[in-house]
Amino acid sequence: MSDPTIIRFDRVTQRYDDQTTVLDNVSFEIRRGKFYTLLGPSGCGKTTILRLIAGFLQPTEGSISFNGKLINQVPANKRQVNTVFQDYALFPHLNVFENVAFGLRVKKMKNEDITRNVKEALRFVNLDGYESREITEMSGGQRQRVAIARAIVNEPEILLLDEPLSALDLKLRTEMQYELRELQRRLGITFIFVTHDQEEALAMSDEIFVLDKGRIQQSGTPTDIYDEPINRFVADFIGESNIVGGRMIRDYLVEFNGRRFECVDGGFRPNEEVEIVIRPEDLEITAADQGKVKVRVDSQLFRGVHYEISCYDDGGSEWLVHSTKKAAVGGEIGLQFDPGAIHVMRFGETEEEYDKRLAAYQADRDGD
Ligand SMILES: Nc1ncnc2c1ncn2[C@@H]1O[C@H](COP(=O)(O)OP(=O)(O)OP(=O)(O)O)[C@@H](O)[C@H]1O
Ligand SMILES: [Mg+2]
């Protein structure tokens, strides 16, 4: 059986000058044929990771391997990788056909092969019949597809996409999300997609790497990351959450808001200070004295499928609730939740705990 790992980063650190560490000891694996997303706020290092994979940059420390071979020193044009840039970088003076054919002409491919390959790539992105159109006569979404055709015509093993949808309006963007996902399935090549839009990441990916400050904060499937955020940053960045401080009494018993609650998490130090996440949709409204937390309703918005209700507890912490039930603004209500709705996160993860967690994650993957 061939190794499914196509790219491996092993303790990669990137510094652009002597002071700033842009990537800090980053390790991860990319598996063949899957759709990956790098998700994180501006400046967290997403494009830097793509540039390292593409070979436009060499890591300051650590190693990068491709199909099991170290590629730190392999130049960009010798890598089986193509990039779709945010601004598409198409040639405005060339028509659609010539834009897609450009790389093949540079490689001195025979004319008839060029024609066949370009037509096939255009067919893949649903641009049959657009060969002689000028780039300037194409819409944003069509240009985006030309850029993808130009990348896949080289038959890369990996396609890197750096925020390719950010210039599109919401409707087109949603359409292109489906198209890209579908294209990845049909082509069967590995996509590494960059976005700072969490909904986009959740909708499209097999696996997401959440980045902040040059570190992978968490990696996993969209459901892993949504349901089990590892820390406050991830919980806050992915979806809406209620985050409160607490203490882990022992495995499966946590204290917050002055009470102890059963939960499903273990593996913490006794009495470890933790943070608790409860998603707004996991809270159920009850009569004031029947819930686990008593709150006063501050405001309420109707969001189409649910009410978004903002409440405050006695300690002054805000609780956000998504409910199909309406609440009375100004009145008291109770909030009920299951043990499984409580997600316990480490508050201050030590360096060793971070390393241990990454190693456990790696071992888990390897055992798949
Ligand atoms: N050539 C460079 N020289 C010095 N610093 C750089 C260089 N390129 C990027 N940086 C810095 O490295 C950090 C990470 O940049 P990067 O482009 O990887 O971020 P990003 O996650 O892609 O952000 P965005 O979402 O804004 O595109 C930023 O602080 C940026 O200013
Ligand atoms: Mg970027």
pLDDT at 20: 87
Ion ligand 2 residues within 5 Å by Cβ: 47
Average pLDDT estimate for 87-111: 91
Q: Which CATH class is domain 241-367?
A: mainly beta
Q: What is the pLDDT, as a whole number, of residue 358? A: 65
Q: Which residues contact 116 (CB under 8 A, 6 or more apart)?
A: none
Mean pLDDT rounded to a whole number for the chain: 90
Give domain 5-227's CATH number out of 3.40.50.300, 3.75.10.10, 1.10.10.60, 3.40.640.10.
3.40.50.300
Instruction: Point out the ligand nearest to the CA of residue 45.
Output: 1
For residue 306, pLDDT beyond 60:
yes
pLDDT bracket for residue 162 (50, 70, 90): very high
pLDDT value, residue 228 = 85
Examine the pLDDT at 192 and tell me if it is beyond 90: yes
Q: What would the pLDDT profile of 25-52 be if each residue is shown by its tens digit?
A: 999 999 999 999 999 999 999 999 999 9
- Domain(s) labelled CATH 3.40.50.300 in the chain stretch across 5-227
Query: Could you read off the pLDDT of 195-216 as tens digits, one per residue?
Result: 989 999 999 999 999 999 999 9
3 state DSSP class of 47: helix
Q: How does residue 18 score in pLDDT terms, banded at 50, 70 and 90?
A: confident
Q: What is the pLDDT of residue 179?
A: 85
- Return the best residue to mutate from 9, 15, 16, 196 for the ligand 1 pocket (most ligand atoms within 8 A of CB): 16
Tokens standing for residue 126:
């649903």
pLDDT score for 353: 72
Q: For residue range 317-345, what is the model confidence (pLDDT) as tens digits? A: 999 999 999 999 999 999 999 999 999 98
The closest residue, in CA terms, to atom 12 on ligand 1 is 22
Give residue ranges with CB within 6 A of ligand 1: 16, 22, 40, 42-48, 196
Higher pLDDT, 355 or 234: 234
pTM of the model: 0.85
pLDDT band at 362 (very low <50, low <70, confident <90, very high): low
Q: What is the structure's pLDDT at 366?
A: 59
Residues 165-182 pLDDT 10s = 887 788 888 888 988 899
Distance CA 314, CA 316 (A): 5
DSSP for 97-158, written as a single string:
HHHHHHHHHHTT--HHHHHHHHHHHHHHTT-TT-TT-BGGGS-HHHHHHHHHHHHHTT--SE
- Using the mean position of ligand 2's atoms as its centre, give its distance from the Cα of residue 163 in Å: 7
Start and end residues for every CATH 2.40.50.140 domain found in the chain: 241-367
Ligand nearest to the CA of 162: 2
Token pair listed for 210: 């959440």
CA distance 254 to 117: 60
pLDDT computed for residue 210 by the predictor: 96
Take residue 9 and report the two structure tokens written for it. Answer: 């980063």
State the average pLDDT over residues 210-237.
91
Distance from the CA of 216 to the center of ligand 2, in angstroms? 15
Separation between Cα atoms, residue 187 and residue 155, nearest integer Å: 9
